Copies of this chain bind each other. A is one copy, B any other.
Amino acid sequence: MPRGPTVYDVATRAGVSIATVSFTYRQPHRVRQATREAVLAAADALGYVPSASARGLARGRTGSIGLYSFDYQQESTPAGSAQTDVRHFPLYVDEVQRGVQLECRRHGYALMLGAGHSARHLPDVIDVAGRVDGLIAFAGSAPPEAIAQVAKRIPVVELGGATGPDAHTVLVDNHTGMRELTDHLVRDHGFRRLVFIGQQGLPEFRARYDAFAAGLAAAGLAAPDPVPSHPTDDASTIAAVRRHLAGALPDAFVCSTDQEALVAMDTLTAAGIGVPDRVAVTGFDGTVAGRIAEPRLTTVRQPMEAVGRAAVRILASRLEGSAPDAHHAPLAAPFVPGASCGC
């Protein structure tokens, strides 16, 4: 912010005090029309651009909300097949971000996106937190301690985490959809040997596995342990799939996310195993990439934009001290049959 004209310059030029200049912008009605016009004219002539830093310091709030995401969202996948080179399509994180953007705009908040690569001592998320009135963070994107620390100062909504004492979260019903999906595979397709691929670190992922297990249990089947894989890390997914290529192929790979499901499909295809002919694959999220994949991915569709919007609304209500955001019901995430399960 190369320093430019300030309130002082505008005040001088308009022949008023700096207080009047400030009033002109913040409480126009408290200023006589003639005065107001004089001030605005002076500001215009000078090319006055109010400093948000100064305003933020004086008022104690910035008027902006922060969004902190994963790194993986940021860098393109280096290579990969047409199918997994999915980075040209918006992922879960991107679609949520879109909702956040939309709702911030509605509420008049500026949106601050975290930048990484800081060689500083402070975790990035704290840096971002220092710039905003409220923070939205994807669970797992920042160290829990950092989140906790931030939450002591400003309202925080952690997406995909558990609703805790400090950080709120947007509730999504991960269970119902996954249960339906599992039931579909077992009941409609008659599958018996199902493998679950995905990490179990976050509550939302655990809910997915639990629903999967519940579905199997209801059919009198034992649920195998989840095979570890991380949506961020394609290599881990590939490894998870390959592990099952040796012996008898399972009937279906039930994946924790679309991202992993797409990688799984590619891995299988590359190994000469047709999907869904020889094995079914399912995902979770309902991303664009999954919709246009070949075969179209069977999945559970999260209301991503709605999640982003809800996060902002929660923050806004906390910031504006309005209604303590009554316990909103979890957002629905419907089962969406595709072709990758054999339908």
A: which residues have CB within 8 A of B? Answer: 1-4, 24-25, 28, 40, 44, 47, 49-57, 60-62, 64, 71, 74-76, 88-90, 94, 98, 101-102, 104-122, 126-133, 149-150, 152-154, 288, 292, 305
Q: Name the B residues within 8 Å of A108 (CB-CB).
A: 115-119
Q: Is the CB of A131 within 8 A of B60?
A: no
Bound CA span A108–B116, Å: 6
CB < 8 Å: which of B60, B109, B120, B131 contacts A110?
B131
Contact B28 A121 (CB under 8 A): yes
Which of chain B's residues have a CB closer than 8 A to the CB of A71?
105
Determine which of B94, B105, B110 lies in contact with A112 in the assembled complex, contact meaning CB atoms within 8 Å: B110
Identify which of B4, B25, B49 contacts A120 (C-beta below 8 A). Answer: B25
Chain B residues contacting A113 (CB-CB under 8 Å) are 101, 104, 110-113
> Of all chain B residues, which has the CB nearest A109?
B115
| Cross-chain contact B51 with A130 (CB below 8 angstroms) | yes
Q: How far is A284 from B336 in the complex, measured between Cα atoms in Å?
A: 33
* Complex Cα spacing A161 to B263, Å: 40
A131 and B52 contact, CB distance less than 8 A: yes
Contacting pair A121 B25 (CB below 8 A): yes
Cβ 8 A contact of A154, one of B1, B90, B110, B117: B1
CB of A14 to closest CB in B, whole Å: 14
Flag if A52 contacts B130 (CB, 8 Å). Answer: yes
By beta carbon, the residue of chain B nearest A128 is B110
Q: A105-B116, A154-B2 are in contact. Are A50 and B130 (CB under 8 A)?
A: yes
